[in-house]
Copies of this chain bind each other. A is one copy, B any other.
Amino acid sequence: MTTRKSWQSIHDELRRRIVDGIWQPGDLIPAEEQLAAEFQCARATVNRALRGLADSGLLNRRRRVGSRVATEPSRYATLKIDIIRLEVEQRGAKYRHALTERAQVLAPERVQYRMNLNDDTELLYICNLHMADDRPIIYEERWLNPVVLHGIFDVDFSAISVNEWLVRNVMFTRGDISFCATNLTEREAQLFAADLGEAAFVIERTTWQDEQCITSVRLLHEPGFSMRTELI
């Protein structure tokens, strides 16, 4: 055995060959066996490195065929979904939230559709204004399904935020999230001390436990908000 190679160093070297154009898009690269011989390591180590490159979209791998440099490399942006309180506190600001609404209601039709509910299930409807250093930053409008969330009607959501209660009490198995832009209504503009019609960033998130919908939430961000992340 010569010096021990790490899968990371092999990953980086192969990545370099792709980025520098030594292996062009569409090219078939050497098989794992050959690379293992070149790098003087076990095939499993090369496999680990190649899997990483395939995960990040730089390679397409197929059995019997080999690993090909992607012709149209897929790139991904990964967004971390945090509890709002943590996001605020990590920025060094003081977090506070105010419960602005609480009711037991039938959801509007488009929410029923999103949550895949019958039209006779009464939901808990909760609205919250989230603040950083006492400045409103997010208006949260949320529908909760009592069929899944037993005892939800008895929880005191002025003491604990809905978000945190959910995180501690149920775990979702799947969810979807969508992003869009909207013009502030008059009422929404007042919340942010902004102008009617200003553009605001909206996140809508719906989460499920197996086939049952847990909750659907709409997060209206203050005008000027921008969400940033790294590309992979």
Contact = CB atoms under 8 A, between A and B. Distances in A.
A140 to B, nearest CB: 16
Interface residues of A, number: 51
A180 interface: yes
Contacts of A80: 74-76
Interface stretch (A28-36, A59-67, A199-207): A199-207
Given A168-B25, A183-B199, A230-B176, A78 B81 contact: no
Contacts of A173: 19
B226 A201 contact: no
Contacts of A230: 174-177
A22 to B, nearest CB: 12
Nearest to A58: B171
Given A73-B167, A73-B171, A168-B25, A81 B180 contact: no
Contacts of A209: 19
A178 B81 contact: no
